Chains A and B, each alone.
Chain A
């Protein structure tokens, strides 16, 4: 089983709909992240969490919200989806000491 699991893997939704992307991890890391990937822009940080009670905005948090339900679970919500939120979304966890991130397989979201 994957260490970082994202669901769903693919989703098509309509403009204005609320959608939640879920992430769970078995690595035991405290730190979890949500990134979005767009062609030519690399990965940009949306939100990050250092523990269950610590949530922080990243570079591009507008239009998104998150919930850290447990150490192992970190979900990303789009309250009212818009077409320019069409992207590939990645969840990641990291180890404080080594600093490297471990990524899920990604969720491809299309907003029509």
Chain B
């Protein structure tokens, strides 16, 4: 069975500090992995994705994530937080199994940036 676990439903960082949002997955085959961001009163926007190419993936707004197969992780990072990064972030997995190929989402992490 496939699942996504996001550790920490709320994360607070100071403006300018490192952002680290954690995501672990379980999948029987190497999956596709995604991070989405949701700003208040908006839909989900793709930040970045891993589709079996380079393990370090760069996305929009200065975010990046590294696929680590040995740790089954896909943590999201940004070196320096901005106030505009305050949002909810969702990790998602596409397990790529025959007949499935749907996205399964984690429960989300709300990021607060403190001035």
Name the contact of A48 in the complex, choosing from B6, B102, B106, B107 (C-beta under 8 A). B102
The interface size of chain B toward A, counting residues with CB under 8 Å, comes to 24
Q: Min CB distance, A43 to chain B, in Å?
A: 4
What is the distance, in angstroms, from B89's C-beta to the closest C-beta of chain A?
Answer: 11
Contact for A99 among B45, B51, B108, CB less than 8 A: B51
- Contact A105-B42, Cβ < 8 Å, known A40-B9, A99-B96: yes
Alpha-carbon distance between A90 and B106 when the two chains are bound, in angstroms: 15
Complex CA distance for A79 and B96, rounded to whole angstroms: 33
Q: Are B105 and A42 in contact (CB under 8 A)?
A: yes
Q: Which residues of B contact A (CB under 8 A)?
A: 6, 9, 32, 34, 36, 42-46, 49, 51, 90, 92, 94, 96, 101-108
A residues lining the B interface (CB < 8 Å): 4, 33, 35, 40-45, 48, 58, 90, 92, 94, 96, 98-106
Offer 12 A-B interface pairs, CB within 8 angstroms, sorted by A: A40-B107, A42-B107, A43-B44, A58-B102, A99-B32, A99-B49, A100-B32, A100-B34, A101-B46, A101-B92, A103-B36, A104-B43
